[in-house]
Amino acid sequence: MSGSPQRRRLRSPPPPLLPRSPQRLRPLSRHDDADADDDDDDDDAFMDLDQAEDADEHGTTAARSAGTSATPFAWLRSAGLRSNNNVGPSQSKPRQNGAPLKSLAPQGEPIVKRARIEVDSQTQSNELIIASDESSLGEIVLDQEDVRPSRTSVVDAGATVSVGSQSSAGSITLGESAEAAIESSASLQVLSGDDEQQEADALNTVPHTAPVQSEPVDVKPTVDVKPSVAVPVVAHQIFTGVRAFVLASGTISQQRKALLESKIVHAGGTTSVCILPQSTTHIIVGSDLSYDRLVNAIAQFSPSTKVKLEVPASHAAPLVLSADWVTNSLVRGRRLPDEDFVIRTGPTTSALSRVPNPSSQESSTESASPHSPLPTAAACKAASPAAPSSLEWLESDSENGIDLVSDEFDSTSAAHPPAAFTTFRPSRKSEVPPAMRHREVSSTDDADSSAEDTNASASPFSNPKYVCFLPVPRQHSNMHITDQLACIEDFYFLSGDESRALAMRRSLCVIAALPRRLTRIQDIQSLHNMGQSSRAIVKEILDKGRSTAATCMANDPKYTTMLQFRSIYGCGQRIAQALYERGYRTIAEICADRSWVADFPLSAERLEWGLTLHTELGSQVPRDEVKQLGDCVYKYANTILPGVMMTIGGGYRRGKPASKDCDFIFTHNDSDAIEFLLPQLLLQLQVAGLVVHANTQVGHNTPERIINYHYPIISDFTHRPLLDCTDRSFTIFKSPVSGLHRRIDIICVPRTQYAYTVLAWTGSKQFNRSLRLYAERELGWTLSSHGLLQIYSESGDSEQQQQQHQHHQQKSEQLGRTHNGKQVSFVPPVLTERQVFAQLKVPYLEPWQRNH
DNA sequence: CGGCGTACG
DNA sequence: CGTA
DNA sequence: GCCG
């Protein structure tokens, strides 16, 4: 008991919420937005469009009635394939809460340029971790036990930053909710170094775990785990007494001006529409303005005012400060001293206004015009604490930092596949745990025993039930088959038949994992997940080079149309189907006629973004840009929370030369610290004009609201029921690298979940599904991006489970939780992906082998 | 003939 | 419903 | 569509 030293998790009672300003801006649409509301009347106009054919396909009504049995695709039968007949919304899931979706920001403003920074590092292995400074971590690399040397570059960003030197919460003026949030948790014995190590040793057959990370997370269970880093908290009223005029010029667009003003107001200040010499206390300007431009602009708004540009400001005149003053103060949760943000006078001195190439002074066009081209170097420093000293690490412009990584993955050529497979020689399957070998082909093979020489059939090919046991490289020797299988899979998926799509995907994985080019159909005769249909398709491809079914599907007009619709961000299966049934056939039609808006009120906003930016978001992000964007985001994060670590996940980590989006996963060894990162990071990125849209409410809401969004619990290694914690955000980014809009996912989790999170966000999707299904069915465990949990009621029989359970129970009395109504306990968390594989008794696959 | 991953926004 |  |  002794309540005091034990930090208890208080569920922070939210402070009184201010009414949130719904000032949401809609994406720039091709034509006026204004017509959106009155359009709904003449939706009939659309039906004209579809009157075209649709006769054969049971158009809108038939599909909706869910009962029709006629296949819409007659050719399917001739191809020997079945078709699902319920294309419509047959399976109605219980609707969940319809949380209001809000867009955050106005669209980006002209842009910024990013200063070239060399920061990052990529390990020779597959882990990209940007670690940071001191903080006793030593170096934390996920794949520490990996044999290959993994290099971690240390980003020393912290030195001068010192987020709120007051690491104790006391000095920050917080609402009670924030105070409650600062609490740290009780004991986190789970991760105490020794146990973890034993665990690792027990599970890892790897003998050479000697130099493991020195107690990676040595949180003393008992001692006050006062946050080693000050938890940045957005405080209210930090701008009390401020009456600001925001000058929309240069990097401050009209949108950003409005945003800054709302932030100032929310934080207790006021704003004015012009410069009032008597009452205006601050003039907020972009940091890129030249002195002359600054003076001219200010004179425009207040000819009579003589503005104080020098530091010792008399109270008589307004102070001209960089917008960074606003944003950084918000991040720090306190009003930062004016002196650090004064726009220095004189033509040259200002390092802030360092803009070698003013580029065509972007006029006020902004409004997210994707065309505003060249970024200027002033960009990424928006997050920097503006102290000149700290600029160094931002501008360490070494031109390298790009490659030295890529060749590992740049196997766009066919060079790698064979080499890649060497790690998974069927011959050396002795390394493979028995769980993997559910069935061997070899036995059936020898019966055949066509004296077909070699090992083509003789070599036993591992034949697991779950494809997560198979290494699937991105490129392999049977692409000609898998491409067509993927086509069929897509078709099934778009038809609403996800089960068949799944089956086809599994078959695809089996083919993709074959060690060499398939020539004889009998080689796959008895492989798991290769059934009659799949084999027939493959056989046809082997014989004739094409599958007629795949060809027909690829040429199906409905398929191609739906494929187009699905490519719109925010347009899922249901909406695509609905749009199709309404008669739309091209994206241009959807853009031109907005009568659908009323039908998808909850999705309309995101759809608008997806439509407006469809071209840009549809283009792939090259590896280099992914990495550079990672640098950029990381710098913001590390400024907010020194010591954060980041891994780039997604297709990038699996080695793809270009990705459809970027996944940045953050963590921090101080588990409690991470919970505030995401909202503040979003805030910063948004204010900087980098994040143009996000699916969270963080950006446009009051600081109070932000505080309200945090993990309910963190320190006991897995937050318990996975409720109301904000740990991911799907954003649309205005890339300072390419100038294009990019989709970026930001994920923040405590260190205890990091391995599971990186695993999950590395994918692929099918790999995750397979791994989780295996864990559930074979082990009785539930795997998620937060950890492994074990369900008591069933499958308590396995000895190892019991052992693990008891082992865990000795360490923590906090068991007996419930998850989804069931009694569960967590399997002790681990720190590396390899250890997760070991827990699951699945042979480790490198990320590039997870392209399932 | 039932099940097909599991979460979050 | 959407996202991963 | 494939598996148990």
C-alpha–C-alpha distance, residues A548 and A725, integer Å: 48
List all nucleotides in chain B with at least one atom under 7 A from a protein Cβ.
3-9
- Banded pLDDT at A575 (limits 50, 70, 90): very high
For residue A703, give Cα distances in angstroms to A393, A677, A726.
Answer: 29, 13, 15
Q: For B7, which residue's CA is nearest its C1'?
A: A784
3-state secondary structure A81-104: CCCCCCCCCCCCCCCCCCCCCCCC
Q: Do domains A243-332 and A467-614 have the same CATH topology?
A: no
What is the mean predicted confidence (pLDDT) over A119-146? 28
Q: For B3, which residue's CA is nearest its C1'?
A: A499
- The gap between A654 CA and B6 C1' (Å) is 21
Is the confidence at residue A683, as pLDDT, over 60? yes
What is the mean predicted confidence (pLDDT) over A545-574? 95
The contacts of residue A687 (CB under 8 Å, 6+ apart) are: A256, A259, A260, A263, A323, A326, A327, A330, A382
Q: For D2, which residue's CA is nearest its C1'?
A: A529
Q: For C4, which residue's CA is nearest its C1'?
A: A761
- Domain range summary for chain A, segments of one domain joined by +: 243-332, 467-614, 619-713+720-849
Name the nucleotide with the smallest C1'–CA separation from A570: C2
By mean pLDDT, which of A32-41, A280-289, A615-624 is the weakest?
A32-41
- The gap between A189 CA and B2 C1' (Å) is 42
Name the nucleotide with the smallest C1'–CA separation from A783: B6
The pLDDT assigned to A304 comes to 60
Is the confidence at residue A824, as pLDDT, over 90? no
By mean pLDDT, which of A274-278, A368-372, A601-605, A829-833 is the weakest?
A368-372
List all nucleotides in chain D with at least one atom under 7 A from a protein Cβ.
1-4
Which residue would you say has higher pLDDT here, A435 or A536?
A536
Name the nucleotide with the smallest C1'–CA separation from A504: D1
The pLDDT assigned to A255 comes to 63
C-alpha–C-alpha distance, residues A147 and A785, integer Å: 26
The pLDDT assigned to A30 comes to 36
What is the mean predicted confidence (pLDDT) over A110-116? 24
Token look-up 């420093």 returns A381
β-bridge mates for residue A790, sequence order: A781, A825
- Banded pLDDT at A344 (limits 50, 70, 90): low
Q: For B6, which residue's CA is nearest its C1'?
A: A784
- The gap between A489 CA and D2 C1' (Å) is 14
The pLDDT assigned to A629 comes to 98
- The gap between A747 CA and B9 C1' (Å) is 12
Spell out the CATH class of A619-713+720-849: alpha beta
Between CA A811 and CA A819, with CA A817 as vertex, the angle to 5 degrees is: 130
- The gap between A282 CA and C3 C1' (Å) is 41
Is the confidence at residue A67, as pLDDT, over 70? no
Query: A246 and A261 in contact (C-beta within 8 Å)?
Result: yes
Which residue would you say has higher pLDDT here, A675 or A350?
A675
Q: For C2, which residue's CA is nearest its C1'?
A: A570
Residues whose CB is below 7 A of strand D: A 81-82, 438, 465, 499-500, 502-504, 506-507, 528-535
What is the architecture, at CATH level 2, of domain A467-614? Answer: Orthogonal Bundle (1.10)
Name the nucleotide with the smallest C1'–CA separation from A723: B8
The fold of the A243-332 domain, in CATH, is Rossmann fold (3.40.50)
What is the mean predicted confidence (pLDDT) over A599-621? 92
C-alpha–C-alpha distance, residues A242 and A336, integer Å: 13
Tokens matching residue A711:
């993990």
A23-37, A215-229, A768-782: which is most confident: A768-782
- The gap between A770 CA and D1 C1' (Å) is 16
By mean pLDDT, which of A485-494, A634-643, A701-710 is the weakest?
A701-710
Q: For B8, which residue's CA is nearest its C1'?
A: A728
Query: A264 and A239 in contact (C-beta within 8 Å)?
Result: yes
What is the mean predicted confidence (pLDDT) over A282-288? 83
Q: Is the C-beta of residue A99 closer than 7 Å to nucleic acid chain B?
A: yes
List all nucleotides in chain C with at least one atom under 7 A from a protein Cβ.
1-4
C-alpha–C-alpha distance, residues A189 and A191, integer Å: 5
- Tens-digit pLDDT profile for residues A387-407: 222 211 212 222 222 221 222
